[in-house]
Amino acid sequence: MSYLTKIEVPYALAIHKLRIRDSYDWHQKAWNAFPGRDGQQRDFLSRIDEQEEAYRLLILSPTAPQKPDWCPTDCFESKEVPEDFFSHPRYRFSLLANATKKQTVPGPDGRKLRTGKRIGIYTHEELVAWMQRKAEAGGFALEGEPRVIPKPRSYFHQSKSKMNGVHHAVEFQGTLRVTDAALFKTTVHAGIGSAKAFGFGLLALAPIS
């Protein structure tokens, strides 16, 4: 069982009243839909899209969320995802991802160290290859080359830990074919890629009849 929730937040409300500045602020606002879970592990995915007049926050969760106090009543919509939604062989998809790769660091003797850091992927060829690898590991195959839409870097600041960071956002759009139904369903609920707590990894789907 899973629930898909849509919260539309007018820009004026988000910026002037709610003081939402970055992806970490959205991360906190999304948690408000699941009260009484302080200290528990996150089990939902989220995504933020900028629309014509408002931000759209999507949440995919295994439990039904509650309308946060900061959300106007007419801006909140949640529904259970029917089980037969995952019975289709093909879907149109959109994925907002934090596409990165691990950069190894050479030691004094020139050999690669185990430690390294993650850096953003920017070339079209590498991004397509990244998406293809995620598809193969996730129980589906891409039909043709996906559309790759680079997004501005997503900076964030955690006031409690005084930590600053950046995510390398990119959107993939296209069509997919399911190759392993059970694995595909697991992938949809688990998300794809890193930085899932910051609005990345939710695979938005529309069945193709």
Q: What are the beta bridge partners of residue 149?
A: 171
Q: pLDDT tens across 163-206, in order? A: 677 788 999 999 999 999 999 999 999 999 989 989 999 999 99
* Residue 151 confidence (pLDDT): 86
Domains of the chain by start residue, with CATH? 3-81 (3.30.70.1200), 85-207 (3.30.70.1210)
Distance CA 4, CA 2 (A): 7
Q: What are phi and psi of 28, to 5 degrees?
A: -70, -40
pTM over 0.75, yes/no: yes
Q: pLDDT tens across 30-40, in order? A: 999 999 887 78
Q: Residue 202 CB: number of other CB atoms within 10 A? A: 24
Torsion of CA 14, 19, 23, 28, to 10 degrees: -100
SS3 61: strand
101: left (phi over 0), alpha (psi -120 to 50) or beta: beta
**Is the Cβ–Cβ distance between 139 and 186 less than 8 Å?**
yes
Contact partners, residue 190, CB within 8 Å, separation at least 6 = none
Distance CA 51, CA 81 (A): 23
Nearest to 172 by CA among 119, 118, 132: 132
